[in-house]
Structures are given as structure tokens and as C-alpha cells.
Amino acid sequence: MKQRLKSILLIDDDKATNWLHSILLEKAACTEQVISKYNGREALDYLLSDEPKPKIDLILLDLNMPVMDGWEFLEHYKQSAFDHKDGTVLAVLTSSLNPDDEAKVRNIGAAHGFYQKPLDPAALERMLRTFFAERF
């Protein structure tokens, strides 16, 4: 590994899933910081706030959440502007096996990838090598 990511934002209402993904990311030593938000509204508010925050290199987004789900988040995210957005990779993590969900995510156009959750070490490595080849 050449250079770790500054931060990864986990957006999932399931605390156990966020914990599991945090442990995976820690073991992979691929990021300086993991930030967890528990729905799309909370994450969007965080991204658009004026509060100081690290550069978000990677967002891992669940689709099914209360308050604002991943679908709504993708629509708002696509139209939003925040610092360093152009350098941020957004990957959808879902337990859905419905192929229509992947097609719908691709049609929205805001996400860079679609992965099954929970993320495992091999999928994380593929993701990092695909989107951050110069760093990994």
C-alpha cells in the first residue's frame, strides 16, 4: 500500500454492520478515519455542513434505511456540492439480490459500484484496487 485514504464514510442504519465494516477497514489499514452515519439525511447534512471534516475518499452506502434511504440519498447527492466531491468514490453496499436494484443504481448515475454486504476482505481489496489503483 502506498498511501491510505483520508476517510471512509459508512452510511447504514444497522450499527452492527457499521461496526463490522469498521473492523474490516481497520484490519485492512486502508484509511486514516472511519465515519459512521445512520441514514441518508444524517450523512447528507454532514457532507454539506460547514463543520471541519476530513476529505471523504470513499462512501459506502446502504439502500434500505429510515428517514432518508439510499435511493433518496443518491438523488440528492448527485445534485449536491461539497468539498472534494469530485475525488469521492461512492459504492452501494446492499443485501438485496434483486438485479433491478443494481440497474436502478447505475441509471441514477451517482454511484461508482454496487457490492453485496457485508463487505469481505477480497471485495474490499478489489474495490480499493479498482478505484484507488495509484494508492494500493
pLDDT digits (tens, 9 = 90+) for 72-114: 999 898 888 776 677 899 999 988 777 787 777 787 777 888 8
Burial of residue 66 (number of CB atoms within 10 Å: 0-12, 13-18, 19+): exposed
The C-alpha cell that represents 48 in the structure block: 454539506
What DSSP character marks residue 84?
A: T
pTM flag (> 0.85) = yes
- Identify any residues that bridge with 7 across adjacent strands, giving them in sequence order: 33
pLDDT in tens, 59-74: 999 988 999 898 899 9
Nearest-angstrom CA–CA distance, 68 and 74: 10
CATH (residue range 5-131): 3.40.50.2300
* Angle, in degrees to the nearest 10, between helices 15-28 and 121-131: 70
Q: For residues 101 and 76, what is the distance between their CA atoms, to the nearest angstrom?
A: 18
